[in-house]
């Protein structure tokens, strides 16, 4: 009986194991059927490359806040999206403090001028008095000499007195001449000190005039006005920086606005190494802006970098190449709602802006390009020199760069200096006489056309223009007069239905699609169906109720399709996921694009 029970138990265990194996066998196809599959296709394949970049203007002029040595507060500001013409007023700052300092410096200069006039009058009076005393002393000597001639007719004692009187008169005359010379040198030294004070006051006055000219920033070229964000304001985490508005205070040197040349824009993007090998300059591309998702624009590859770089702050550590794409501006402007008149005006400005040199960042540069508040090289009277014309050459060397002027212009300047100085030595002239001569020379050169009027006041140390010539200021590479600065007006605000301000959004992104190649009648599979096994590319071919790894030979690939030369046939069913991977491996593999696609070479012409 005991053996019978044991046999029954063994039989039940065998039956149960067989049933479990049978159930497991039935579930294997069901598990495999949950894996997504696709068919191997044969047909035409378009190999595309995709990039994502930022839209920007080719030519941009940045206007930065000047250093006014005080509060820098915006009083006038052009409207965001306004179309500004060259020399239009873009930004104006509060000039109350600058004008106040300018008036103080002018008052100080006037006081020193009065002191100079008083010193000169005192010197003239003292000279007249000294001349009278000197004449009296000379008469005393002459009288004593006549008395000495009578010594033969008078007593010895009287003769000796006359001789002593003559010697005393001569010593008094010599002492008086020495005193007069000393007093004159002392008075000249005092005048020289006052003149230096005048030069210093004029220099400080000139600096204040430069700062006063910096309170207005004008457009160095025609373009769209883009107002910057106010980064000097305190903000909390998560808050968006506000745009600069009228009444805001900004820090010196902070960018306030950009002038964007809308006649030519471009998209800057980065591409990988495989994509870079298949791109060529001039290749046509298709673009789509995030701000206008329903519109597509055409363009071309403008330029490509020869070296790759990586961004340590990006989630992608791979090195990539910079590629610049041009965009069809007429299509872009039309899509933004610009009418034909605006488009023609914008595109007509393209040739003019292309001919201009690269525009520097403009912060209200002083005349001649001197930095804010800095001392400018002299364009006034040259320093004293031994011969006429040499002082002019020394002045050119001191001005730095003027000595490199055209030799013909140097020769004309020397001739005019010799002509107006009338053979006098420059060292013997007063500063006023030298300034007058150089003013005549400059005016004559401008009159004859040998020197442009715009260069006359470049770096004028005396803070003013030459007589009869307007004072000029260098504004973003263009020379403007004070009258033009005074007449500068803000550009007209944009129309309400205009969408040109779309181009002003910071970091405006665009998707770029590049058609690299078109391959006809080839076998291809999705890139997600390609995996790597034992270091070789494989696909999992469905055979019955199971999947079998099949080695393939890639020919060319794109971001979503791989072209094969062998391994599978059209119509075969392949897995879109690795059936041999564990559940944890599948989760990790789902985060990777295309299984082994990330590590496979592109093959011939691979992307």
Both 17 and 101 in one domain: the answer is no
pLDDT band, residue 594 (cuts 50/70/90): very low
What pLDDT is attached to residue 474? 58
Per-residue pLDDT tens digits for 438-469: 778 877 777 776 665 545 544 443 444 444 44
Per-residue pLDDT tens digits for 334-350: 887 777 887 787 777 76
Where a domain ends, among 214, 244, 274? 214
DSSP annotation of 330 reads H
Does the residue 155 lie in any domain? yes
Does the residue 283 lie in any domain? no
Both 206 and 104 in one domain: the answer is yes
Whether the per-residue pLDDT at 398 is higher than 50: the answer is no
Both 103 and 201 in one domain: the answer is yes
Structure tokens at 393: 């050459």
Per-residue pLDDT tens digits for 514-532: 877 788 888 889 888 899 8
Rounded to whole angstroms, how far apart are CA atoms 449 and 446? 5
Does the residue 457 lie in any domain? yes
pTM > 0.75: yes or no: no
Closest Cα partner for 577 from 564, 590, 568? 590
CA-CA-CA-CA dihedral for 542, 547, 553, 557, to nearest 10: 80
Both 23 and 108 in one domain: the answer is no
What pLDDT is attached to residue 545? 81
Both 376 and 452 in one domain: the answer is yes
Where a domain ends, among 474, 504, 538? 474
What pLDDT is attached to residue 596? 46
Both 25 and 111 in one domain: the answer is no
Both 22 and 110 in one domain: the answer is no
Whether the per-residue pLDDT at 98 is higher than 80: the answer is yes
Rounded to whole angstroms, how far apart are CA atoms 319 and 312? 10
**Beta-sheet strands, E only, within 312-463:** 320-327
Mean per-residue pLDDT for 223-233?
81
Both 382 and 469 in one domain: the answer is yes
Structure tokens at 261: 């040349």
Per-residue pLDDT tens digits for 21-31: 777 666 555 44
Number of domains within the chain: 3
Where a domain ends, among 181, 198, 214? 214
| DSSP for 129-188, written as a single string | HHHHHHHHHHHHHHHHHHHHTTTTTS-HHHHHHHHHHHHHHHHHHHHHHHHHHHHHHHHH
Does the residue 607 lie in any domain? no
What pLDDT is attached to residue 135? 92
CA 360 to mean position of chain CA atoms? 5
pLDDT band, residue 365 (cuts 50/70/90): very low
Residues 6+ apart with CB under 8 A from 180: 130, 133, 134
Does the residue 14 lie in any domain? yes
Owning domain of residue 10: 1-30
Both 470 and 384 in one domain: the answer is yes
Both 204 and 103 in one domain: the answer is yes
Helix (H, G, I), strand (E, B) or coil at 283: coil
More confident residue, 309 or 370: 309
Does the residue 62 lie in any domain? no
Both 110 and 205 in one domain: the answer is yes
Does the residue 547 lie in any domain? no
Whether the per-residue pLDDT at 499 is higher than 50: the answer is yes
What pLDDT is attached to residue 312? 67
Both 196 and 119 in one domain: the answer is yes
Does the residue 186 lie in any domain? yes
């Amino acid at each position: 009986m005991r053996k019978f029970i044991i046999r029954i138990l063994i039989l039940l265990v065998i039956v149960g194991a067989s049933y479990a194996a049978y159930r497991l066998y039935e579930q294997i196809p069901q598990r495999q059927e949950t894996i997504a599959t696709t068919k191997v296709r044969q047909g035409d394949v378009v190999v595309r490359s995709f990039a994502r970049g930022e839209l920007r203007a080719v030519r941009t002029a940045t206007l930065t806040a000047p250093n006014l040595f005080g509060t820098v507060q915006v009083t006038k500001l052009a409207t965001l999206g306004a179309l500004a013409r060259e020399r239009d007023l873009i930004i104006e700052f509060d000039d109350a403090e600058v004008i106040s300092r300018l008036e103080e410096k002018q008052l100080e200069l006037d006081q020193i001028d009065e002191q100079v006039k008083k010193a000169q009058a005192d010197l003239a009076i003292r000279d007249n008095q000294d001349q009278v005393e000197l004449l009296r002393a000379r008469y005393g000597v002459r009288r004593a000499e006549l008395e000495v001639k009578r010594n033969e007719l008078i007593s010895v004692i009287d003769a000796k007195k006359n001789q002593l009187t003559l010697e005393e008169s001569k010593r008094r005359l010599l002492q008086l001449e020495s005193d007069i010379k000393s007093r004159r040198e002392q008075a000249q030294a005092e005048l020289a000190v006052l003149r230096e004070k005048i030069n210093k006051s004029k220099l400080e006055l000139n600096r204040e005039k430069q700062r006063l000219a910096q309170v207005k920033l004008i457009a160095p070229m025609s373009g769209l006005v883009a107002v910057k964000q106010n980064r000097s304001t305190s903000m909390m985490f998560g808050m968006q920086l506000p745009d600069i508005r009228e009444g805001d205070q900004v820090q010196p040197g902070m960018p306030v606005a950009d002038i964007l040349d809308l006649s030519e824009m471009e998209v800057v993007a980065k591409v990988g190494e495989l994509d870079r090998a298949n791109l060529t300059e001039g290749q046509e591309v298709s673009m789509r802006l995030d701000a206008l998702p329903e519109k597509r624009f055409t363009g071309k590859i403008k330029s490509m970098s020869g070296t790759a770089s990586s961004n340590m702050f990006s989630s992608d550590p791979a090195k990539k190449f910079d590629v610049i794409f041009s965009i069809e501006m007429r299509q872009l402007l039309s899509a933004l709602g610009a009418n034909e008149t605006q488009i023609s005006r914008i595109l007509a400005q393209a040739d003019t802006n292309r001919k201009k040199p690269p525009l520097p960042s403009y912060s209200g540069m002083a005349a001649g390009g001197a930095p804010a508040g800095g001392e400018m090289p002299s364009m006034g009277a040259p320093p004293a020199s031994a011969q006429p014309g040499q002082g002019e050459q020394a002045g050119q060397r001191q001005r730095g760069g003027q000595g490199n002027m055209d030799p013909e212009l140097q020769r004309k300047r020397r001739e005019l200096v010799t002509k107006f100085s009338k053979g006098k030595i420059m060292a013997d002239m007063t500063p006023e006489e030298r300034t007058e001569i150089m003013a005549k020379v400059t005016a004559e050169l401008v009159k004859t056309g040998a020197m442009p009027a715009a260069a006359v006041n470049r770096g004028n140390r005396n803070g003013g223009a030459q007589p009869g010539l307007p004072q000029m200021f260098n504004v973003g590479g263009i020379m403007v007069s004070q009258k033009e600065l005074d007449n500068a007006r803000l550009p007209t605000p944009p129309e309400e239905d205009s969408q040109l301000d779309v181009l002003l959004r910071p970091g405006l992104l665009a998707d770029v699609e590049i058609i690299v190649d078109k391959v006809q009648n080839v076998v291809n599979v999705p890139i997600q169906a390609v995996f790597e096994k034992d270091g070789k590319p494989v696909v999992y071919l469905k055979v019955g109720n199971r999947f079998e790894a099949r080695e393939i030979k890639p020919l060319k690939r794109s971001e979503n399709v791989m072209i094969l030369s062998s391994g599978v046939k059209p119509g075969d069913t392949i897995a879109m996921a690795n059936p041999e991977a564990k559940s944890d491996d599948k989760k990790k593999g789902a985060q990777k694009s295309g299984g082994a696609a990330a590590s496979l070479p592109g093959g011939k012409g691979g992307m």
